[in-house]
Amino acid sequence: MFFLGRRRVFIGECNGQAVYYDQKTGEALAAPKSKLLNTEKAGETNSFIPELVILLLVGGPAISGFFSLKFIGVYNWFSLACILLFWLMQFSLLVAILERALYKNVRKAQPTTEKVFFFAASHNLFVKNQFDPRQLSALPYRFARFVVNIVSIYYFLYFLILPLKFGQPIGDEGYGLWFAGLLFFSVFLLYNQNNPVRFVKIMRLYSQGKVRFKEEVEH
């Protein structure tokens, strides 16, 4: 999987299916969706997701405070290693959850009808009010990605200069570092797993009649 090279893009869900757009062939596709997307019948499966997110959100500061007060107390290589490992845990776990939820059966996807594609697209979280693929704008999403990128770069550069603070006490400013892993995940999400700018571009192609569909069977 390349950072920007995802071939099949998640569009939405319809009647127990995850719907995709194949950027290479221009086809609308559908496959059985993951239970993580089934909000009606997968309560037991979905119930653990908020708990994992809460753990990631509060676990970092809790661990930071524990080590700061009991063991570390100052910036050093050990504290940097703890921060980096927690970043990797945040990023990897959240990417894995979203990948399974959105793309679990993507390789099984088969051509689908325009009716299914339209329903999935019109119920996408990026769509507000009445659905008109010609009226969707990528500007708000480009701005959101810009903000996330800037903040992520700030935290990355801040991490690189932390060795200059070796020996200094760990203050309250160190707690923010534990949330940077969520920012890095957000960058990956917005560019790869569920790219809103790419969704708008696909809707533009759809409005121009450039998406290929399976012919509907008449009864």
Instruction: Write out pLDDT tens, residues 177-210.
Output: 767 778 888 889 889 988 999 999 999 999 999 9
- Is 218 domain-assigned? no
Per residue in 130-143, pLDDT tens?
A: 678 878 888 888 99
Measured between alpha carbons, how far is residue 140 from residues 144, 168, 192 in Å? 6, 41, 17
* Better-predicted residue by pLDDT, 48 or 159: 159
Q: Are 61 and 180 in contact (CB under 8 A)?
A: no
pLDDT at 43: 42
- Is 54 domain-assigned? yes
- Is 216 domain-assigned? no
Per residue in 46-86, pLDDT tens?
A: 444 455 555 555 555 555 554 444 455 678 888 788 778 88
- The pLDDT confidence band at residue 21, using thresholds 50, 70 and 90, is very high
Number of domains comprising the chain: 1
pLDDT tops 50 at residue 41: no
- Is 45 domain-assigned? yes
Least confident of 22-26, 103-107, 126-130, 205-209: 126-130
Mean pLDDT of the chain: 80
- The pLDDT confidence band at residue 219, using thresholds 50, 70 and 90, is low
- Is 2 domain-assigned? no
Q: Quote the percentage of the chain above a pLDDT of 70.
A: 74
- Is 156 domain-assigned? yes
- Is 214 domain-assigned? no
pLDDT at 6: 85
- Is 185 domain-assigned? yes
Q: Cα(92)–Cα(90) distance, rounded to whole angstroms?
A: 6
* Domain boundaries, position 70: 8-207
